[in-house]
Amino acid sequence: MQKIEIELDQETFNKIEQLTQTHHCEVSDLIKAMIEQLTKPEIINNSFIGEWSNDAELVDKMVEDILQYRNS
């Protein structure tokens, strides 16, 4: 395993905390789920992926949906 250190604004940190509590998981689980979803061929080949960087709420919702699907 590798360790990373990131800096987040307070709003993003609060959302991560909420997601980990809601889904009873660790931050690393959220990151892994997001990466798994984003590296699916149909996502990588989609031309609007770059636009997500400016839409934190969309990314948060996407991660939430990923974890809900994973836990069902």
Question: Residue 38 sits in which domain range?
Answer: 20-70
Two structure tokens written together for 56: 């934190």
- The answer to whether position 5 is within a domain reads no
- The answer to whether position 34 is within a domain reads yes
Number of domains in the chain: 1
Q: Work out the number of other CB atoms within 10 angstroms of the CB of residue 30.
A: 20
- The answer to whether position 12 is within a domain reads no
Flag whether the pTM goes above 0.75.
no
Mean pLDDT of the chain: 81
Cα–Cα distance for residue pair 67/15, rounded to 1 Å: 14
- The answer to whether position 4 is within a domain reads no
- The answer to whether position 60 is within a domain reads yes
- The answer to whether position 62 is within a domain reads yes
The pLDDT tens digits of the residues spanning 3-16 come to 889 999 999 999 99
